[in-house]
Amino acid sequence: MSTVTPVQKELTAVKGTHDILPGEVEVWQTVEAAAKRLFESYGYRELRAPILEHTELFEKGTGETTDIVTKEMYTFVDKGGRSITLRPEYTPSVARAIVEHRLDLLGAPMRYYYIGPMFRYDKPQKGRYRQFHQMDIEVFNEKDPAIDAEIIEMADALLRTLGVTETATLVNSVGCRACRPAYSQALRERAGRDRDRLCPDCQRKIATNPLRIFDCKVEACRGAARDFPKISEFLCEDCRVHFAGVRAALDLYGLRYKVDPNMVRGLDYYTKTTFEVVHLGAGQQNAVLGGGRYDDMMKDFGGPDICGIGFALGVERLIAMLTLKPEPRRFVYVVHLGDKAKVEAIRLARTLRKAGIETIVEFAGRGLKSQFSRANKLGAAWVVVIGDDEIGKGLFQLKDMAAGTQVECAPAEIQARIQNRK
């Protein structure tokens, strides 16, 4: 027997990426199915955009001064000389697809969801990966603060459906193009006075985009940012009224939340509402999901002047919080010995699979006893035995493993017997 040691780095997964193996993937499937059901019950439809986009989409959409664009994108030049990026987030892709296909002209509710991989070249640690997965939802053309509250409620409903309880919902308003410049200026002045407390990166942000100092993970910068002026003191009338509307609608839903004036989120496109759900006690990477309103993105893309709002949930972070055990699979294992039995096993498997019954037939040349104990070890719900005796009689053995009962029956009866016990 040889031992395989994957010493060469090309035989291990790329740093910050993970295989999701059978045994774990069932939890993913359960979570994805629950999310799809829930999103669709709120009128969302799936929109699948490509993983590759033009780099400019994120520069323009996500924002040129964000950590994502300045430090974390997987960008390369393709053979045609184009600058291409593996999407670091999904929101700009949805906005692009709407503009490209003029989905706004269809008259249907503009509510979209997607579940898939995103890519960010960040320092991997628990809860932070280079390829990770998001469940993303976006709504367009709905201005009313009730929709802001509805999507926060939908996020909450998803977490409750999956049995997640130890969370807190944080909300804020980051203002709009009318009121944020005055706030940015106040921040710039304040951060300028605190320059020596800030890391070199944040010192640069004072000039480029002082709001982004709130995203810094350096403890000294976080400490300094705690004393910075609050956006709530700078909101214009429109933003104040909207935020009050969001809070009133959240109260209507009976949702518990906390207003966090420092929660500005790490993306440039947000206007008005931002929110996050954090896992209490999950350590530093504790945001399970985050989102907000982005009323200018479509217009900035040269598309229609349509507002947008959405959130994305980190699937790895969600799964780490779950205690969910997926239902064990119920399958048939067909034990066979001899050439004729092999033919019968194949025939039976085809019939059962056509009826939607998972059926395993293996061809490893094992003896009857060893096939039987393998079926047992794999956790088969039923075992069918086909040997010379069974071929001779035209009756196969069907064993119900949980009940421990065994019957002899004609091949044509097996499907119905299994279906009756399912």
In angstroms, rounded to a whole number, what is the distance separating the alpha carbons of residues 51 and 96?
Answer: 13
> Between residues 250 and 348, which has the closer beta carbon with respect to ligand HAM?
250
Q: Quote the least distance from Cβ 62 to ligand HAM, whole Å.
A: 8
> Between residues 120 and 247, which has the closer beta carbon with respect to ligand HAM?
120
Extract long-range pairs of 64-70: CB within 8 Å, 24+ residues apart: 64/268, 65/205, 65/208, 65/209, 65/212, 65/268, 66/212, 66/215, 66/266, 66/267, 66/268, 67/212, 67/215, 67/266, 68/120, 68/266, 68/267
State the residues that interact with ligand HAM by CB under 6 A. 89-91, 120, 122, 127-129, 132, 134, 136, 138, 266, 287-292, 310-312, 314, 316-317
Q: Quote the least distance from Cβ 289 to ligand HAM, whole Å.
A: 5
In angstroms, rounded to a whole number, what is the distance separating the alpha carbons of residues 183 and 198?
Answer: 19
The kind and range of the H/E element at 131 are: strand 131-140
> Between residues 136 and 390, which has the closer beta carbon with respect to ligand HAM?
136
> Between residues 233 and 305, which has the closer beta carbon with respect to ligand HAM?
305
Q: Quote the least distance from Cβ 321 to ligand HAM, whole Å.
A: 11
> Between residues 176 and 345, which has the closer beta carbon with respect to ligand HAM?
176
> What are the residue ranges of helices labelled H in 301-401?
315-320, 339-354, 368-378, 388-393
- β 359-361/332-336 pair status: parallel
Amino acid at 288: V
The HSE-up count of residue 114 (CA atoms within 13 Å, CB side) is 20
Query: Which is nearest to 140 in space by CA: 180, 108, 174, 178?
Result: 108
> Between residues 27 and 288, which has the closer beta carbon with respect to ligand HAM?
288
In angstroms, rounded to a whole number, what is the distance separating the alpha carbons of residues 15 and 296?
Answer: 36
> Between residues 120 and 205, which has the closer beta carbon with respect to ligand HAM?
120
Q: Quote the least distance from Cβ 140 to ligand HAM, whole Å.
A: 11
Q: Quote the least distance from Cβ 64 to ligand HAM, whole Å.
A: 16
> Between residues 87 and 399, which has the closer beta carbon with respect to ligand HAM?
87
> Between residues 90 and 228, which has the closer beta carbon with respect to ligand HAM?
90
Structure tokens at 302: 């040269």
- Residue of this chain nearest to ligand HAM (CB atom): 314
In angstroms, rounded to a whole number, what is the distance separating the alpha carbons of residues 384 and 244?
Answer: 65
- β 258-259/167-173 pair status: parallel
> What are the residue ranges of helices labelled H in 230-367?
237-252, 297-300, 315-320, 339-354
The HSE-up count of residue 370 (CA atoms within 13 Å, CB side) is 7
Q: Quote the least distance from Cβ 344 to ligand HAM, whole Å.
A: 50
Q: Quote the least distance from Cβ 91 to ligand HAM, whole Å.
A: 4
In angstroms, rounded to a whole number, what is the distance separating the alpha carbons of residues 129 and 25?
Answer: 17
> Between residues 319 and 368, which has the closer beta carbon with respect to ligand HAM?
319
